[in-house]
Amino acid sequence: MAKNADGKTIKVTLVRSPIGFPIPQKATLQALGLRHLNQTVEHKDTPAVRGMLTKVIHLIRIEE
């Protein structure tokens, strides 16, 4: 778990392909910066990011 001056960060990894899922879910993954399988990105732990993660929870793995 990494910390910065603003608080916690979350590591998000794409573990399932978005092929066959609705376009809004694919758009959410792109907005999170996830484009390839097993790609990991870090985001600040904010309510907006948490909301995005809950929409695609079946496609990702979250590490706090």
- Is 60 a residue whose pLDDT tops 90? yes
| Alpha-carbon span 33 to 52, nearest angstrom | 12
Architecture of domain 3-63: 2-Layer Sandwich (3.30)
pTM summary value = 0.86
What is the CB-side half-sphere exposure of residue 30 using CA atoms within 13 A?
7
Query: What's 12's DSSP letter?
Result: E
Pairing of strands 7-14, 3-4: antiparallel
Chain segment 11-20, per-residue pLDDT in tens = 999 999 999 9
| Alpha-carbon span 10 to 20, nearest angstrom | 26
